[in-house]
């Protein structure tokens, strides 16, 4: 009851609530009643009573004292004056102006872009009441077209990483932005008088137009300052080549993992796999791969050869010679001539519809040869476009870094701003970046983490995550995206824009203003700008933002033949590559990516040195033996992993590990390959020595058996075999006839029968689905020891099988998730009925009923069920991690079984929406997390009761089969057999 | 006392020269002595320490979770289930000796049935811990019991684990009743002979007013026979139900119809072996060779041999069926057992369960107490290995090669196992000290000359 009922009249003897409150304040129990008693005597109260409870006041004689006091107390309680309230009243305020589209419980999606080594991939971020919880691809964006890779999916965890740096520090002590500005302004004023002599900026790959513009203005203000670039993942050579694999019939990859380790890999994957289905228009493409390290691109190859890195170059030379041009002399073994002939013949038969793809981390010579070959085959403008670089003011990164180090060492650098990146860790060790850095007087580092670089810098400023700040970025083909934040910066972070704006003299501008001002000024539309801005931000794509392609240059670029520069290396070579999960170490503290099994080796939490079986035998090495690798006076110790498919006499080392200051997750894991790296040849060491140290290092892998053991798990055939016997897949292990069962068939009472089809011809094994599922379903991380003991919690795993000759194996991927069997073996054995079957065909898992006998897991032939052996979900109690969780999915406690639910929360959401709108759920309306993120569109979920749905049509294909269907489980998740397209002339 | 020479017939099942009184004296004096033997103190001390270790291991398990053990995906069941089956199996000998041999009127059961029945009870107690402890959320174990509740939920009755609940609780209840009813006349004897007030009161309460009157004896016989009849089918049914834990699943190596008889035979096999392993030292320590004579040991050895042959037949049938089925999964289970990572366990199993017990064919071995003890020990270990091989080899490599794994027991697995052995022995030691380990009144019926009356 508010004061308003007491009216606006103010008679002198009106009972004033404030007085009453005062009188009754801090009284409880008998004293309260005593005070109340006293209060009841006052004339003010009697008047109040008359006013509020006329009936009561009129008949006090019927009440005895006790009843009367009770009434008094009750009436006062109704006015909110009980003696028990000791808490400060909290006001729950609903939206004063509720945004039209915000419905509590319904997430909103906002467009932004993820930075993949500096290049943008458009995303849609799911936001629950102002908190981003999940990232999906942006269907409007040409690079991603709705899909997202594992790194993008995992970046949401980086946003909420408790180890992120949270405060600005100066010399290790907490400082403020104002203190930084004050200090910097003074320094920069001094530098300005010297025209910026000694001022250096070091960034990673910058494709942000705004940032590029800011840097150019800085360089205008400080003409003697220099802008260096170093991104460890940047290519050392080559042109900016945008591929169109959907137009290619024949693809030759020369050590290129274009499906994963390429800035444009999402588009590549989508385009490439669009031509992998046997029924595709234009026929299946054919992929030849020659590579040293087994990669997912190599796994997709129709013809694969494992060869040393320098032999790949030799192959390129031979190709070049055969196609008429270039020299073939140079070190390296000759590739099998028959193989080459077949390739050449195929290429010639598909002029203009073929493409040669040089490896990202291969030599300049190889890139030049590839470009020449593409030109001579008429592929340029069809399957590949050479454009001007999308990177702002592109330079050779290694040269830029080396120049900076040289200047630092010689005392020519006075102030250094490291904007993003971690060069102390990622720079090749021969540069001795860290030591040179100590010669710089003033060092500032902007970064997400307090890492190896910030340790050596005075000022460290926490960087905003891409989900926390406005920005802009270009994708590999030049499409620009304006990034919008999903949440206010969690900590006192700043973006690169603000740092550079401060350097330019304006420290008060917000990133929003900075970015908007740039676009307004560079893209003036007058009064249309606001509409244009809103549309661009909403769509996640700035329309018509691709740069023009560069004019085609003449074929010969006059590179000297390689024979001049190299001796004949005969020994083992070492190939260095970014790790498939943590890349160069930037994701070392991301637990999802650390626990993600690497696509081909299935290793987690560590890097290893990959050695081929034959070479391991020759050297007497076994998996987990620790070897020391020595090259040019530098050495590193690494555990061995015997990898079928690895080239002989070639060892692959991976970056990203051996970090000292990555946070709790990433520090002190694995070995640091940078120790042996040189700036002259950062990706290849042609001649190394190996020494067995005699010690062993345990490695945790999620899959121990790589042979299919003749169990027809992945069914595959060449396209000719498939045409001969289209039903080879289901016939390999026939499912029992439905009529054989004594039980009547279950008749569903609903219109929906959910099912899924996974196309093994298109699945590239990139792991995006695994991380998407982990993000969507609050799946915990268990740590290396638990993974080693077979307790990884991924609901969706990608099995990897080797087949055939162990030295040149075929590699197959198969995503395995709960099959939602119609006759599920897990259901009848649960003693408490925690796993049941829904009328729509889902095998349901009821977490709060599970007592944890694990019989269901024992009885599951697919072993897709995961058990919480320990308290995985609640081990890390950092409060910020609770923001990460999807509110629509239960977080499971220990002792409870869990498994894929076909994203039942999404199904239910769709059902509710459809019911609200009084319609059926449309085909394609429900995208499971794995389906939504898959770049290859390999996973299709839908209603099998509807014969027109996409999933029904896929299941009707002749190459559809159920895994272990011969056990009569009747899995609702079925597979489409893998069809390969090998060259009939090559008997492999 | 000398060991009597073996004669094919009429071998006495009790030593010469005993009367009612001397039989009663000898057995009850073990309990009623004021001076606890030093050997008992040492034995009980060690068992008690192991029991404390069990307590510690269980506490840590409840605090941390089932992950402290070595189980994983794919091997979701490890030592917990292996030991559960092993302990339940051991219990079967007691029930067979008490109930079935009673109904078959085998008089030689008298000196061992009390002890064996006690062993059953303690084995079932140890076994019963495991289905509770191995749960991920043991505090909800009661959900497996059908009780009316506000959730309107019943257990899922198609699951063999629910059948286990009924089987094991029935078994424990009937065994306890049977054992206790059988004890009543002897408790009365102890009450009458006890020299301490405490003893008289305690045994008096437990004896439930037994006066040894004719009516009492009549009621006793009826009750005992009824309980024996009730307990007899349990010998077959309980371990059959336990075997369903495996047979109902689809795993190759588990999914086989021979499991019920195979498990029951194995249970009796291991049970008799455990009875042998326990009675041989005890009869030596307490000088009971006149009551537990060589004939008893030989009979038990013969039962062991017979059940051992059934078990061996079971192994052979598994192998034959794997071949005959033409199922590559079944065949792989067999070849994996022979040559896979757990082949040492498998071949040790064959050695200890099949080969070594064949020595029982030889009279020399059957006559040698040490020989019998060693063979029985071998069978105990062999039967444990059998459960290990069944549980682990089928789970660790099943249908999809990508999910193959290994099972390595942790220190907590071993600690819990050793702890249950400690609990078992501690209970046994207490039983020996405070209750008559041989049925006094039944032994009295064996004294020669009683039939004449």
Query: For the residues of A451-501, what is the DSSP string, one character each?
Result: -HHHHT-SEEEEBPPTTTS-EEEE-TTS-EEEE--SS--SSS-B-HHHHHH
Q: What is the pLDDT of residue A5?
A: 40
The Cα A494–Cα A51 span in angstroms is 60
Task: Determine the residue of chain A that is closest to B408 in CA distance.
Answer: A789
Please report the pLDDT score of residue A326 as a whole number: 55
- What does the mean pLDDT of chain A come to? 88
User: So what's the pLDDT on residue A131?
Assistant: 92
Q: Which pLDDT value is given to residue A554? A: 47
On chain A, the residues whose CB falls within 8 A of the CB of B71 are 854, 869
Kindly list the residues from chain B whose CB atom is less than 8 angstroms away from the CB atom of residue A967.
250, 399
Q: pLDDT, tens digit, for every residue of B232-291?
A: 999 899 999 999 999 999 999 999 999 999 999 999 999 999 999 999 999 999 989 888
| Bridge partner residues of A417 (DSSP) | A201, A444
Partner residue facing A858 (CB), from B76, B400, B405: B76
CB–CB of B75 and A896 under 8 A?
no
Contact B406 A786 (CB under 8 A): no
pLDDT in tens, A787-810: 999 999 999 999 999 999 998 999
- pLDDT at position A16 is 61
Tell me which chain B residue has its CA closest to the CA of residue A824: B250
Distance from CA of A931 to the nearest CA of B (A): 22
Q: Which residue of B has its CA nearest to A802?
A: B402
User: Looking at CA atoms only, how far is residue B381 from chain A in angstroms?
Assistant: 25
Residues of A in contact with B405 (CB under 8 A): 704, 790
**Running DSSP on this structure, what letter comes out for residue A553?**
P
Nearest to B135 among A849, A853, A869 (CB): A853
Which of B136, B160, B161, B162 to mutate to probe the A interface, most A CBs <10 Å? B136
Nearest 5 degrees, angle CA A416-CA A584-CA A786? 130
3-state helix, strand, coil in chain A (%, to 5): 30, 20, 50
Q: In the predicted model, what is the mean pLDDT of residues B360-376?
A: 94
Q: For residue A868, which residues of chain B lie inside 8 Å, CB to CB?
A: 65, 136
Q: Which CA distances in Å does A38 have to A31, A61, A78, B453?
A: 10, 18, 19, 98
CA dist A43 and A55 (Å) reads 17
Cβ of A790 within 8 Å of Cβ of B75? The answer is yes
Which one of B60, B71, B74, B76 makes the best mutation probe of the A interface by having the most chain A beta carbons within 10 Å? B76
CB B268 within 8 A of CB B307: yes
**Is residue A60 over pLDDT 80?**
no
d(CA A564, CA A89): 83
Choose among A710, A816, A850: nearest Cβ to B328.
A710
Contact B159 A895 (CB under 8 A): no
Q: Decide if B328 and A870 are in contact by the 8 Å CB cutoff.
A: no
**Interface mutation target, options A851, A873, A875, A964, chain B, most CBs of B under 10 Å:** A851
For chain B, domains (ranges, CATH) are 20-145+157-444 (1.20.1630.10)
pLDDT of residue A6: 40
Which residues in chain B are contacts of A831 at CB distance < 8 A? 143-144, 155-156, 159, 161-162, 165
Give the pLDDT confidence of A747-778 residue by residue, as tens digits: 888 899 999 999 999 999 999 999 999 999 99
- Average pLDDT of B433-448? 88
**Residues from chain B contacting residue A832 (CB–CB below 8 Å):** 140, 143-144, 153, 155-156
pLDDT at A4 over 50: no
Cross-chain residue pair A869–B71, CB shorter than 8 Å: yes
Residue B24 to residues A191, B19, B36: CA-CA distances in angstroms? 110, 8, 19
Handedness of CA A963, A966, A972, A975 (dihedral sign): positive
Contacts of B399 in chain A (CB under 8 A): 711, 861-862, 964, 967
**In whole angstroms, how far apart are CA A677 and each of A654, A684, B247?**
11, 8, 58
Check residue A32 and give its pLDDT.
Answer: 61
pTM for this predicted structure: 0.89
pLDDT in tens, B36-82: 899 999 999 999 999 999 999 999 999 999 999 999 999 999 999 99
Q: Can you tell me the mean pLDDT for A468-479? A: 93
Q: In the structure, what pLDDT confidence band is assigned to residue B11 with cuts at 50, 70 and 90? A: low
Q: Where are the alpha helices (DSSP H) in A110-194?
A: 150-159, 177-193
SS3 B67: helix
Minimal Cβ distance to A831: which of B72, B144, B400: B144
- pLDDT tens across A675-699, in order? 999 999 999 999 899 999 999 999 9
CB A901 within 8 A of CB A777: yes
- Residue indicated by tokens 């003010």: A44
Q: How confident is the model at residue A77 (pLDDT cuts 50, 70, 90)?
A: low
Helix (H) or strand (E) holding A287: strand A286-291
Q: How far is A626 from chain B (nearest CA, A)?
A: 23
CB contact under 8 A, B401 and A865: no
On the question of pLDDT at A35 being above 70, the answer is: no
Query: Tokens standing for A536?
Result: 């661009």
Cβ contact, residue pair B162, A896, below 8 Å? no
- In this complex, do A852 and B73 lie within 8 Å of one another by their Cβ atoms? no
Task: Give the pLDDT of residue A501.
Answer: 95
Q: In this model, does residue A455 exceed pLDDT 90?
A: yes
Q: What pLDDT band is residue B175 in, cutting at 50, 70 and 90? A: very high
Nearest-CB residue to B250 (from A703, A816, A825): A825
Pair B117, B176: CB distance under 8 Å? no
- Asked if A801 and B401 come within 8 Å (Cβ–Cβ), the reply is yes
Residue B41, CA atoms < 13 Å, CB-side half-sphere: 4
pLDDT greater than 90 at residue A59: no
**At CA A812, angle to CA A807 and CA A815, rounded to 5?**
150
CA atoms of A941 and A932, how far apart (whole Å): 10
pLDDT digits (tens, 9 = 90+) for A278-309: 988 889 999 999 999 999 999 999 999 999 99
Give A-chain residues touching B404 at CB under 8 angstroms: 704-705
The CA distance from A704 to the nearest CA of chain B, in Å, is 7
The interface predicted TM-score of the complex, written ipTM, equals: 0.93
Q: Which pLDDT band, with edges at 50, 70 and 90, does B448 fall under?
A: confident
The mean pLDDT value for A691-715 works out to: 94
- DSSP 3-state assignment of B239? helix
The answer to whether B73 contacts A709, with C-beta atoms less than 8 Å apart, is no
Q: Which residues of B touch A782 (CB under 8 A)?
A: none
Please report residues of A whose CB lies closer than 8 A to that of B335.
none
For strand A650-654 and strand A634-642, is the pairing parallel, antiparallel, or unpaired?
Answer: unpaired
Q: How confident is the model at residue A561 (pLDDT cuts 50, 70, 90)?
A: very low
Residue A120 has pLDDT above 80, yes or no: yes
pLDDT surpassing 50 at residue B4: yes
> CA–CA separation, A55 vs A912, rounded Å?
51
**Residues of B whose CB is below 8 A from A743:** none
Model confidence at B87: pLDDT above 70 = yes
Lowest mean pLDDT among A420-434, A681-695, B16-30, B402-416: B16-30
Give which of A790, A811, A815, A969 to mutate to test B binding, by max B Cβ within 10 Å: A790
pLDDT digits (tens, 9 = 90+) for A373-423: 999 999 999 999 998 888 988 889 999 999 999 999 999 999 999 999 999
| pLDDT tens figures, A512-528 | 999 999 999 987 777 88
Predicted confidence (pLDDT) at residue A329 exceeds the cutoff of 60: no
The shortest C-alpha distance from A983 to chain B (Å) reads 30
Does residue B257 sit in helix, strand or coil?
Answer: coil
Identify which of B137, B162, B399 has the shortest CB distance to residue A895.
B137
CB A634 within 8 A of CB A675: yes
Burial A113-136, CB ≥16 within 10 A → b, else e: bbbbbbbbbbbbbbbbeebbbbbb
Contact A974, A757 (CB under 8 A): yes
Query: Which pLDDT score is estimated for A327?
Result: 53
Q: What sections of A283-379 are H helices per DSSP?
A: 296-299, 309-322, 337-349, 364-376
Start-end of H helices in A243-330: 265-273, 296-299, 309-322
A440 DSSP β-pair partners:
none
pLDDT value at residue A566 = 46
Check pLDDT > 70 for residue A362: yes
The predicted pLDDT at position A10 comes to 47
């Amino acid at each position: 009851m508010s004061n308003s009922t007491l009216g606006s009249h103010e008679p002198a003897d009106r009972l004033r609530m404030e007085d009453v409150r005062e009188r009754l304040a801090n009284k409880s129990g008998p004293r309260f009643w005593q005070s109340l008693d006293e209060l009841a005597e006052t004339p003010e109260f009697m008047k109040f009573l008359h006013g509020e409870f006329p009936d009561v006041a009129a008949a006090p004689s019927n009440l005895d004292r006790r009843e009367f006091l009770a009434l008094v107390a009750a009436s006062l309680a109704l006015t909110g004056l009980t003696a028990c309230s000791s808490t400060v009243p909290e006001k729950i305020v609903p939206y004063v102006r509720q945004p039209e589209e915000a419905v509590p419980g319904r997430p909103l999606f906002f467009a932004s872009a993820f930075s993949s080594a500096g290049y943008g991939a458009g995303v849609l971020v799911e936001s629950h009441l102002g908190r981003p919880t999940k990232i999906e691809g942006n269907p409007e964006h040409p690079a991603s077209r709705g899909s997202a890779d594992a790194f993008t999916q995992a970046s949401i965890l980086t946003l909420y990483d408790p180890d992120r740096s949270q405060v600005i520090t100066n010399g290790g002590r907490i400082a403020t932005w104002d203190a930084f500005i004050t200090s910097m302004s003074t320094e920069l004023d001094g530098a300005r008088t010297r025209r910026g002599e000694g001022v250096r900026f070091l960034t990673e790959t910058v494709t942000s137009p705004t940032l590029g513009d800011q840097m150019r203005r800085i360089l205008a203000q400080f003409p003697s300052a220099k802008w260096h670039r170093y991104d460890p993942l940047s290519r050392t050579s080559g042109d900016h080549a945008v591929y169109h694999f959907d137009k290619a019939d024949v693809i030759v990859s020369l050590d290129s993992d274009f499906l994963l380790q390429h800035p444009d890999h999402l588009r590549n994957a989508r385009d490439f796999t669009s031509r992998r289905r046997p029924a595709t228009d234009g026929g299946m493409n054919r992929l030849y791969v020659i590579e040293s390290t087994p990669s997912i691109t190599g796994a997709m190859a129709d013809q694969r050869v494992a060869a040393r890195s320098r032999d790949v170059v030799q192959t390129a030379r031979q190709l070049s010679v055969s196609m008429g041009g270039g020299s073939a002399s140079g070190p390296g073994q000759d590739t099998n001539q028959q193989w080459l002939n077949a390739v050449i013949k195929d290429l010639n038969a598909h002029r203009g519809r073929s493409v040669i793809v040089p490896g990202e981390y291969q030599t300049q010579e190889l890139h030049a040869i590839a470009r020449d070959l593409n030109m001579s085959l008429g592929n340029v403008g069809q399957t590949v476009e050479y454009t001007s670089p999308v990177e702002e003011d592109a330079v050779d990164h290694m040269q830029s870094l080396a120049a900076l180090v040289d200047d630092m060492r010689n005392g020519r650098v006075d102030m250094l701003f490291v904007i993003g990146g971690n060069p102390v860790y990622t720079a090749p060790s021969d540069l001795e970046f860290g030591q040179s850095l100590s010669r710089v007087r003033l060092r500032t580092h902007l970064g997400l983490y307090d890492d190896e670089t910030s340790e050596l810098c005075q000022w460290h400023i926490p960087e905003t995550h891409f989900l926390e700040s406005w920005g802009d970025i270009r994708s590999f083909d030049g499409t620009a995206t304006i990034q919008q934040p999903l949440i206010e910066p969690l900590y006192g972070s700043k973006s690169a824009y603000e740092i550079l704006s401060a350097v330019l003299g304006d420290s008060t501008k917000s990133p929003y203003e900075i970015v908007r001002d740039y676009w307004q000024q560079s893209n003036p539309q007058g009064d249309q700008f606001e509409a244009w801005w809103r549309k661009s931000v909403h769509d996640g794509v700035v329309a018509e933002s691709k740069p023009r392609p560069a004019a085609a240059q003449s074929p010969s670029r006059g590179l000297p033949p390689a024979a001049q520069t190299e001796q004949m290396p005969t020994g083992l070579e070492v190939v260095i590559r970014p790790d498939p999960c943590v890349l160069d170490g930037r994701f070392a503290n991301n637990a999802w990516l650390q626990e993600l099994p690497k696509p081909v080796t299935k290793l987690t939490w560590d890097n290893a040195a990959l050695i081929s079986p034959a070479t391991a035998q020759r050297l007497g090495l076994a998996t987990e033996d620790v070897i020391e690798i020595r090259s040019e006076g530098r050495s590193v110790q690494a555990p061995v992993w015997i990898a079928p498919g690895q080239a002989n006499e070639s060892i692959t080392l991976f970056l990203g590990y051996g970090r000292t200051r990555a946070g709790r997750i990433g520090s002190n894991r694995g070995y640091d390959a940078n120790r042996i790296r040189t700036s002259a040849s950062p990706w290849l060491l042609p001649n190394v020595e190996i020494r067995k140290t005699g010690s062993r290092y345990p490695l945790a892998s999620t899959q121990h058996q790589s042979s299919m053991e003749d169990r027809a798990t992945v069914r595959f055939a060449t396209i000719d075999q498939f045409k001969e016997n289209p039903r080879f897949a289901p016939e390999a292990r026939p499912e029992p006839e439905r009529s054989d069962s004594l039980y009547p068939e279950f008749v569903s009472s609903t219109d929906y029968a959910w099912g899924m089809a996974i196309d093994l011809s298109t699945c590239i094994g990139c792991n995006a689905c695994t991380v998407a599922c982990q993000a969507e379903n609050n799946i915990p991380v268990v740590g290396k020891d638990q993974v080693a003991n077979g307790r990884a919690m991924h609901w969706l795993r990608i099995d990897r099988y080797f087949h055939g000759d162990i030295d040149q194996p075929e590699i197959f991927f198969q995503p395995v998730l709960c099959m939602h069997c119609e006759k599920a073996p897990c259901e009848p054995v649960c003693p408490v009925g925690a796993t049941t079957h829904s009328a729509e065909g889902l095998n349901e898992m009821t977490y709060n009923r599970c007592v944890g006998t694990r019989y269901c897991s024992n009885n599951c032939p697919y072993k897709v069920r995961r058990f919480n052996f320990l308290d995985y979900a609640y081990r890390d109690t950092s409060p910020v991690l609770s923001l990460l969780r999807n509110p629509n999915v239960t977080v499971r406690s220990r002792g409870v079984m869990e498994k894929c639910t076909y994203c039942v929360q999404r199904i239910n959401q769709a059902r509710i929406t459809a019911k609200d709108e009084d319609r059926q759920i449309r085909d394609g309306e429900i995208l499971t997390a794995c389906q939504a993120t898959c770049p290859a569109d390999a996973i299709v979920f839908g209603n099998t009761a509807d014969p027109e749905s996409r999933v029904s049509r896929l299941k009707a294909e002749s190459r559809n089969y159920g895994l272990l269907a011969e056990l009569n489980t009747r899995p609702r998740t079925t597979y489409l057999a893998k069809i390969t397209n090998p060259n009939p002339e090559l008997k492999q | 006392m000398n060991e009597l020479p073996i004669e094919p017939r009429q071998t006495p099942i009790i030593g010469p020269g005993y009367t009612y009184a001397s039989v009663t004296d000898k057995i009850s004096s073990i309990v009623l002595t004021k001076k606890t033997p030093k050997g008992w103190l040492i034995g009980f001390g060690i068992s008690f320490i192991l029991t404390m270790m069990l307590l510690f291991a269980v506490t840590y398990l409840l605090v941390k979770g089932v992950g402290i053990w070595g189980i994983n995906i794919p091997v979701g069941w490890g030592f917990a289930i292996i030991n559960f089956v092993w302990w339940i199996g051991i219990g079967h000998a007691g029930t067979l000796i008490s109930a079935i041999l009673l109904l078959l009127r085998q008089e030689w059961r008298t000196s061992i049935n009390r002890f064996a029945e006690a062993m059953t009870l303690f084995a079932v107690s140890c076994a019963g811990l495991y289905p509770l402890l191995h749960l991920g959320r043991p505090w909800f174990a009661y959900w497996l019991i059908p009780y009316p509740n506000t959730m309107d939920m019943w257990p899922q009755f198609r699951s063999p684990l629910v059948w286990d609940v009924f089987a094991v609780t029935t078994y424990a209840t009937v065994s306890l009743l049977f054992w206790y009813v059988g004890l009543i006349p002897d408790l009365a004897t102890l009450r009458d002979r006890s020299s301490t007030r405490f003893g008289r009161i305690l045994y008096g309460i437990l004896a439930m007013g037994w006066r040894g009157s004719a009516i009492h004896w009549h009621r006793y016989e009826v009750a005992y026979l009824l309980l024996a009849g009730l307990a007899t089918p349990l010998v077959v049914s309980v371990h059959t139900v336990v075997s369903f834990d495996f047979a109902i699943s689809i795993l190759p190596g588990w999914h086989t119809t021979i499991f019920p008889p195979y498990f029951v035979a194995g249970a009796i096999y291991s049970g008799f072996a455990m009875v042998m392993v326990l009675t041989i030292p005890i009869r030596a320590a307490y000088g009971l060779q006149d009551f537990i004579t060589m004939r008893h040991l030989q009979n038990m050895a013969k039962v062991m041999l017979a059940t051992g042959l059934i078990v061996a037949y079971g192994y052979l049938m598994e192998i034959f069926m794997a071949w005959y089925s033409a199922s590559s999964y079944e065949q792989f289970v067999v070849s994996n057992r022979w040559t896979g990572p757990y082949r040492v366990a498998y071949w040790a199993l064959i050695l200890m369960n099949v080969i070594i017990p064949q020595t029982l064919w030889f009279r020399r071995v059957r006559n040698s107490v040490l020989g019998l003890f060693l063979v029985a020990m071998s069978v105990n270990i062999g039967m444990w290995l059998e459960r290990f091989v069944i549980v682990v080899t089928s789970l660790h490599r099943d249908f999809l090669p990508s999910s193959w794994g290994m099972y390595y027991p942790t220190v907590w697995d071993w600690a819990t196992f050793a702890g249950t052995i400690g609990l078992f022995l501690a209970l046994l030691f207490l039983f020996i000290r405070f209750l008559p380990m041989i049925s006094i009144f039944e032994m009295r019926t064996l004294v020669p000359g009683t039939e004449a009356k």
